[in-house]
Structure 1
Amino acid sequence: MEKKIFVVRKADIKDSKAIYEITKQVFKIYFKNAQIPRTIDALKETYKDIENDIKTKEVFVALDGNTIIGSVRIKVNPDKTAYLSRFGVKSNYQNSGIGKILMSAVDDDMISLGVTNIYLHTSSRMFSLIRFYYGRGFFIDSTSKDRGYIRALLCKEYKSKSLDNSCTNTVNNSI
């Protein structure tokens, strides 16, 4: 049996189309499975939005050969917290370890940037996602219904020399 090798690298503007396609595919499924009552921002974004994120955020892509099969975006804030969004892996590659590989790249990058806490939102109905994030060191900080469904705010703490690196409700809910 041939062993697969996947590569993760920082995204480039030329990756926008592939990131767009992955985002649409993954978030259509998420939207349906989470039973979200109204459309979500991920399904409304444009190529220009993705290009802007590549320029202003930490954006990673996972590749199988030359084919982009997953992506994730992270906004690093001045206070050394970060917010993870648009995490997705093509459906035919899910449950093959790509998500873990992407998240490991995120962890390495966040640690190198001195980030103390990283946050994300996901639907609390999505048990598979909650379980995945718990397995990567996240925990539920809080929940809200501000978007018409129960969203869980998850947090992961990175070890730092700071005495106060605990997750708190300091995330801007407008994210």
Structure 2
Amino acid sequence: MIIKASKEYIKKIIEIELDALGHTLGESFFELEMDNPFSHIYLYEKDNEFVGYISLRIVDEKAELLNFGVKKLYQNQGIGQKIFSFVLEDLKKEKVKTLILEVRSKNHTAIHFYQKFGGKKIHELKNYYGDDDAHIYLLEVK
């Protein structure tokens, strides 16, 4: 089940981030995002546990993916694909035309994932993460 997150779920989101990504955007970031009318944050629940989430902003016909993760124990089970497909359908309803995101150049799993959805690399930011470059991907929402 996928739900739209509210402030009561911030600790669950942080728990997912720490498990899946090894770091978090932080509680204050999510407090602000929950008040941002352009922000959309969704949680994926399986077996009465929140195991994945995605955060993005939508402005007019453009969306930007902020963060996306699935707990390690639940990876490679199609959950990320379900979350991402759900979001793409939501973006279509919102009449969004493009989704932009950044991904670490060494994160080959994520790069392959976004390419499966039609993502195209449009730019590279050298040393964006300090120890790694960022690849900027664009997906056309169809």
Q: Secondary structure at the match of 1:125?
A: coil
Matched to 1:13, the amino acid is K
Return structure 1 stretches of 4+ with deviation > 3 angstroms: none
TM-score by length of 2: 0.90
CA RMSD of aligned residues (A): 1.4
- Judge conservation of contact 1:8–1:101 (CA < 8 Å) in 2: no
- Percent identity, aligned pairs only, is 25
Rg comparison, structure with higher value:
1
- Of the three residues 29, 33, 52, the one matched with 1:53 is 33
1:23-172 correspondence to structure 2 within 5 Å: 23-28=17-22, 43=24, 45-56=25-36, 57-78=39-60, 80-147=61-128, 148=130, 149-159=132-142
Q: Secondary structure at the match of 1:18?
A: helix
Give, in whole Å, the separation in 2 of the partners of 1:48 and 1:85: 15
The structure with the greater share of residues assigned to strand is 2
* Distance apart, 1:65 and its partner CA: 3.2
TM-score by length of 1: 0.74
* Distance apart, 1:146 and its partner CA: 4.8
Unaligned runs of 5+ in 1: 1-6, 29-41, 160-175
* Distance apart, 1:91 and its partner CA: 0.4
* Distance apart, 1:94 and its partner CA: 0.4
How many residue pairs get matched? 138
Unaligned runs of 5+ in 2: none
